[in-house]
Structure 1
Amino acid sequence: MTTAADRLLRRLEWQVLRRLDGQLQGSYRTVFRGTGIDFADLREYMPEDDVRHIDWNVTARLDEPFVRQYTEDRELTAWLVLDLSASMRQSSPEQRGKDSALTELAVSLARLLTYGGNRVGAVLYDNAKQLVLPPRAGRPHVLRIAHELSKATAGTPERGATDIGAMLRLVASTARRRALVFVVSDFIGDNWEAELTRLTFRHEVVAVRVVDPIELDLPDLGLVVVEDAETGEQILVDTGDPQFRLRLRAEVDTREAEVAAAMRRCGVHANVVTTDEDPLQALVAMVRETKRRRR
């Protein structure tokens, strides 16, 4: 019997593998991967190099900056860290939710990575319960990730502010070896910057922010009841009030600037995916942007 998870995987793997054909650099490599873990050689520092790769001992001896070069691993271990908290379950009227966008992105990434023989693990997290799927290769494992995501998003999330820091600590304690880590979340919550920074010390981290457009620009709907997805708190607001819209716009701009600044301090590029766009097209754009930044 064909399950919903199997139908989703069949649809996504056909689209993502076809649309990303030619974007990858080989059957085992991934454009998201920066360096491997095996030291290969030294060369002089170039302005576009990551300063974290500078060999300070050699630089001090030669009085010129040198960077370490690494051989890329043929087999990659990746982790999908998936925020399934209450704020990720919200959706605008007649529009799919952030959890649906997360599911399609996660399954597409898992299939894309395992297609080259790499292993993928997953951490499904909300405040009340967590599920860790150890890294495996192959299509059956991707199907299991899709199945567990379908089950998790069908349930009722725990109320309360998302502890993103705890989610990141969980993957840090689970992923012992250096890996490629995708953190898919709306990053609505506090106390995650320090944990994200620590995660980048050992792993290469790709942040994917899933955002509902209504969070960025609330339309004029008149008097509406607005509910905080995580706490359940409700408030009546007049979305047609110009002063309210100006204050809200300022708060949104401040929040977005703070999140972007925190990501930069962590050394992580924030890829933003909105729920009104095709997640596969967003994934293609993410691949192209990653390649462009590394040229």
Structure 2
Amino acid sequence: MSATRRAAGATARGVPGSPSLGELTPEQALRHLRLLFTRRPDGLLQGDLTALVPGPGGEPDESRPYAPGVDDVRRMDWNATARTTVPHVRMTLADRELTTWIVLDASASMDFGTGRMEKRDLAVGAAAAVAFLTERAGNRLGAQLVRPDGIQRIPARGGRRHLMRVLRTALERPRVPAGPQTHTLAEAVAALQRAERRRGLVAVVSDFLEPGWEQPLRALARRHQVLAVEIVDPRELELPPVGLLTVVDPESGRRREIPTYSKRLRERYAAAAAEQRAAIARALRAAGAARLPLRTDRDWVRDIARYAAAQRRGTGGAA
């Protein structure tokens, strides 16, 4: 069976000390997110980054010897290479002003969760992480939200008040009824690629279960630095042995009765789900996007902090 099936009527559970955003009012949720990321969780994010995923920037800097398999040959410094007879690459300074765009998937498959929170709440948390961790003087934040009534575009602006407006809009987005989706993640990505020509950071937050996003994402990554935040729920990876389970595909509205007491069926489901996630990872890698997987049953704040710290270590502490 398809690994995109969802358990009908599943609810998210709160965890003491880490409330689900869905259990809070918008004001409480925004305050909770602000406290999480302005305190730089777990001490892992101390210091100043120009982006959650450090990028190459655009201003030329000094040259250094070329490292095969590490450096992009398009950055070859031919003058230095000819002068020294040793291949050199031209380094660049990181851009001091960053425009960050958040593309938030609000399709029906995101209104689901059996872990600490629903996928829609985790998606807003991930968006808040990107927003707060890239917030600094001169930086701007914009968003594209996939809604049932269309693609909602919030122009990029600076300032904490605008950042909170973006997050509030994401928190208050309506739930999507099961059935064929009128507007898609692929449309939102393609629209941003056409409209935003200035290089920046784009965080695409989705479960990537909807088909058709691969080519638009690849085109977007040619100009922008793309971070794909993959939202996953444990029930999308394996089924619990709970007897006869009613499941629904939110993208089509189709329902089925699944006998989860069958060990063979559960193993087939887990194998299909693992292959599906591997295919998504390959597609994201082929598109040129960095991948950050987050799960509704894990400490997502710690996962983001570790990811950001690892990215900084990989660039020597700066972009």
| Shared fold per TM-score greater than 0.5 | yes
Deviations 1:267-295 (A, max 9, x none): 22321100122332222122123224435
Secondary structure of the 1:78 match is strand
Secondary structure of the 2:134 match is helix
Q: Which moved more, 1:216-225 or 1:17-26?
A: 17-26
Which structure 2 residues correspond to residues 29-68 of structure 1 after superposition, within 5 A? 29-47=50-68, 49-51=70-72, 53-55=74-76, 65-68=87-90
Structure 1 CA distance for aligned equivalents of residues 229 and 315 of structure 2: 18
CA contact (8 A) 2:111 2:120 kept: yes
Identity of aligned residues (%): 31
Q: 2:171 aligns with which of 150, 156, 161?
A: 150
Higher share in helix: 1
Secondary structure of the 2:172 match is helix
Q: Which residue of 1 aligns with 2:21?
A: none
Q: Which residue of 1 aligns with 2:13?
A: none
Structure 1 CA distance for aligned equivalents of residues 303 and 109 of structure 2: 21
CA contact (8 A) 2:294 2:300 kept: yes
CA contact (8 A) 1:186 1:209 kept: yes
Please give the root-mean-square deviation of Cα atoms over the aligned residues, in Å: 2.6
User: Alpha-carbon deviation of 1:95?
Assistant: 4.5
CA contact (8 A) 2:102 2:202 kept: yes
User: Alpha-carbon deviation of 1:249?
Assistant: 1.8
Q: Which residue of 2 aligns with 1:238?
A: 259
Q: Which residue of 1 aligns with 2:212?
A: 191
Q: Which amino acid aligns with 1:199?
A: L
Q: Which residue of 1 aligns with 2:227?
A: 206
Change over 3 Å in CA distance of 1:119–1:244 after alignment to 2 = same
Q: Which amino acid aligns with 1:88?
A: M
Unaligned 5+ runs, structure 2 = 1-23
Change over 3 Å in CA distance of 1:221–1:59 after alignment to 2 = farther
Change over 3 Å in CA distance of 1:157–1:76 after alignment to 2 = farther
Structure 1 CA distance for aligned equivalents of residues 157 and 282 of structure 2: 34
CA contact (8 A) 1:127 1:160 kept: no
Q: Which moved more, 1:154-163 or 1:206-215?
A: 154-163
Structure 1 CA distance for aligned equivalents of residues 267 and 44 of structure 2: 45
Change over 3 Å in CA distance of 1:65–1:183 after alignment to 2 = farther
User: Alpha-carbon deviation of 1:41?
Assistant: 3.8
Secondary structure of the 1:202 match is coil
User: Alpha-carbon deviation of 1:112?
Assistant: 2.7
Q: Does 1:263 pair with 2:263?
A: no
CA contact (8 A) 2:108 2:251 kept: yes
Aligned residues: 290
Q: Which moved more, 1:58-67 or 1:16-25?
A: 58-67
Q: Which residue of 1 aligns with 2:180?
A: 160
Q: Which residue of 2 aligns with 1:89?
A: 111
User: Alpha-carbon deviation of 1:59?
Assistant: 9.2
Q: 1:70 aligns with which of 92, 108, 122?
A: 92
Q: Does 1:227 pair with 2:255?
A: no
Structure 1 CA distance for aligned equivalents of residues 52 and 163 of structure 2: 20
CA contact (8 A) 1:159 1:231 kept: yes
User: Alpha-carbon deviation of 1:22?
Assistant: 6.2
Structure 2 CA distance for aligned equivalents of residues 157 and 222 of structure 1: 26
Secondary structure of the 1:229 match is coil
Q: Which residue of 1 aligns with 2:30?
A: 9
**Greater RCO structure (CA 8 Å; 6+ sep):** 2
Secondary structure of the 2:135 match is helix
Structure 2 CA distance for aligned equivalents of residues 197 and 14 of structure 1: 35
Change over 3 Å in CA distance of 1:46–1:235 after alignment to 2 = same
With the length of structure 1 as denominator, give the TM-score of the two structures. 0.88
User: Alpha-carbon deviation of 1:15?
Assistant: 1.9
Q: Which amino acid aligns with 2:112?
A: Q
Change over 3 Å in CA distance of 1:157–1:33 after alignment to 2 = farther
Structure 1 CA distance for aligned equivalents of residues 194 and 177 of structure 2: 24
Q: Which moved more, 1:61-70 or 1:179-188?
A: 61-70
Unaligned 5+ runs, structure 1 = none
Q: Does 1:134 pair with 2:155?
A: yes
Q: Which amino acid aligns with 2:202?
A: V
CA contact (8 A) 1:40 1:70 kept: yes
